[in-house]
Structure 1
Amino acid sequence: MIGVADCFLEVAKLEFFYDQAPEGMKSLGTAYYTSSIGIGYFISSFILSSVDKVTKMNGHKGWILNNLNESHLDYYYAFYAILSFVNFLCFVVAAKNFDYNVEVNENEQELEPDIGNVAKQRYVVE
């Protein structure tokens, strides 16, 4: 299920970086897309190692062990769910404050009446 969600997310992320980038920076948007994947994997590894170190402090057993039966992966995934919820809240704030580029189709529809008026004015003047 996570793999399917990841496929949809990556396609949407690529579309976002490509659509919202200015015309001269489309390739840079694609580079940001691939860079965000790599940075995400590094952050995930950092979170895992940090949780492992913090939970083993002061002589505690730790949440992430070599034996899955003795590990507390339920605590780890609960912590991950909390982080995901905080990430969602940050996303909502960023999405509300983001100024999206206007669709190309909307621009064409807005410009069509103006183009007709300019053509009429040109013929009247000549």
Structure 2
Amino acid sequence: MKRVTGIGGVFFKANNPDQLCEWYRVHLGVPVEEWGGSAFSWKSPDNPDGVGTTVWSIFKPDTEYFGPGPSPFMINFRVDDLAALLAALRAEGCQVEDKMEDSEYGKFGWVTDPEGTRIELWQPPAGQ
């Protein structure tokens, strides 16, 4: 079974998300959208048409989306079979959240690493 197939997103906290987004836009050319982030399309030998994205987004410092741990960031990894991977991680004794979300953007699940960092696992919708 394949596990991680790529990085789906990088999310981090900032004391002033709007100001930091503007800095990234002006100085690094990151095309920050109204929702506070950017989606970068990509290509690879296995994906010559460039179907897929990596999301970059800044969150407020008090966000609960990163879970209860102390980490100021969260990485989203792309996976092919979320249910199978979550089952394997549970069997290996990893700290896996019970919930799994299914939305128009795909399926999401979460595991926490040994240092308390929440990791988001994402199975994109078919064709992405």
Normalised to the residue count of structure 2, the TM-score between the two structures is: 0.19
**Structure number with higher helix proportion:** 1
**Which is higher, the Rg of structure 1 or of structure 2?**
1
Normalised to the residue count of structure 1, the TM-score between the two structures is: 0.19
**Structure number with higher strand proportion:** 2
Which structure's relative contact order is higher, taking Cα pairs within 8 Å and 6+ residues apart?
Answer: 2
